[in-house]
Amino acid sequence: MSTKQRPRPTHRSPSSTATRSTSASAHSRRDASTSAGVLTVPTHLKRGIAAGSIAGMTTQLLLFPLSTFKTRMQVKPLGRAFRAADCFQLYSGLVPELMGTVPGTALFMGTYESAKKSFRLDPGIAAACGALAASVVLAPMELISRRMQVRRTPFRLAVAASVRAKGGLFVGFGSFLARELPFDMIQMSAFEWMKSTMERKNGQKLRARDTAVLGGLAGSFTGLVTTPFDVSRTASVCSKSLGLDTTKSMGDVSRLMFRGAIPRMVEIGLGGIVYFSCIQATLRLFDEKEKGKAKSKDKVPKI
């Protein structure tokens, strides 16, 4: 006589149930954090590098002639009038400038975005970290670029002369940091302060056009107040053209400290508009991509 065997009831222990519920809740938290846009340090670094390289290249391609014009104003010997020849070959030095600006700005923005968003540092401190990271690439390439702007020499000869000179490619590195650190700290702090103030006042995120205007204002102001540091940097790199001995006291060049202030202010002001427009547009593309990924994950049926 055959009897049907009843299936044995399955008993789940409280510990296994708790373990499954804990893993499920952890999984749901991960999904929630991903959809909420919580990004990791490598992600912030990648976003900053992409945005910085695009912004740096675009700005230099559009506004490099103003930089050349400003540099030639600064190195003009005392008593000599500005000549028509100074307005030619305004793209001389663009190649080394791009070689420094594209990776340098990428390093700056990558470090800045990571320091500000992942480590919650103040924008000024984050900008200083970014400036230090970028200086290793920017300083030597800017030195070659400025010498090409002033002497109109080919790239190969400018590199060879810079390498052979006393101090090599890092001559005047102290003056470079003395300009870049306050510049980046003031500019980024002013931009972030104005941006957060306007967003609190309006109760919503700023439009791209408004962000660009704030970037231009921050750039113009910072470019003006840091002009003496820029003149000092130019003097340390091209002191023979200025007819100055930079080992002497700064009293020798006190009346030159605001040379080129207007073209520098215009250059950095317009550059701020272009720069921050590119930065915000690139970061917005990343945000939309992240949102698309989150939506596609939500549509996947759970088994």
At 215, which CATH number?
Answer: 1.50.40
Residue of 137 and 235 predicted with greater confidence: 137
Number of domains in the chain: 1
Residue at 14 is within a domain: no
Q: What is the pTM of this model?
A: 0.78
Residue of 164 and 76 predicted with greater confidence: 164
* Cα(269)–Cα(104) distance, integer angstroms: 20
pLDDT of residue 240: 54
Q: pLDDT-derived band of residue 30, with 50, 70 and 90 as boundaries?
A: very low
Burial of 7 from C-beta contacts in 10 A (0-12 / 13-18 / 19+): exposed
Residue at 166 is within a domain: yes
* Cα(247)–Cα(236) distance, integer angstroms: 9
Residue at 193 is within a domain: yes
Mean pLDDT of 101-108: 95
Amino acid type, 279? I
Closest CA to 73 of 254, 259, 213, 257: 259
Tokens of 172: 């005047």
pLDDT in tens, 106-160: 999 999 999 998 899 999 999 999 999 999 999 999 999 999 998 888 999 999 9
Compute the mean pLDDT over every residue in the chain, rounded to the nearest whole number: 82
Q: Are 135 and 177 in contact (CB under 8 A)?
A: yes
User: How many Å from the N-terminal Cα to the C-terminal Cα in the chain?
Assistant: 42
Tokens of 146: 């400025």
Residue at 28 is within a domain: no
Tokens of 112: 């800045």
Considering only 208-212, 254-258, 266-270, 286-290, which range has the smallest mean pLDDT? 254-258
Mean pLDDT of 79-96: 83
Range of the domain at 232: 43-76+83-284
Most confident of 163-167, 196-200, 293-297: 196-200
* Cα(104)–Cα(100) distance, integer angstroms: 6
Residue at 251 is within a domain: yes
Residue at 31 is within a domain: no
Mean pLDDT of 14-29: 45
| CA quadruple 88, 93, 95, 98: dihedral sign | negative
Residue at 176 is within a domain: yes
How far is CA 86 from each of CA 65, 83, 120, 271, rounded to the nearest angstrom?
11, 6, 46, 22
pLDDT of residue 301: 58
| CA quadruple 41, 36, 50, 138: dihedral sign | negative
Residue at 245 is within a domain: yes
Residue of 70 and 84 predicted with greater confidence: 70
pLDDT of residue 15: 46
Residue of 38 and 178 predicted with greater confidence: 178
pLDDT in tens, 38-75: 578 888 888 999 999 999 999 999 999 999 999 988 88
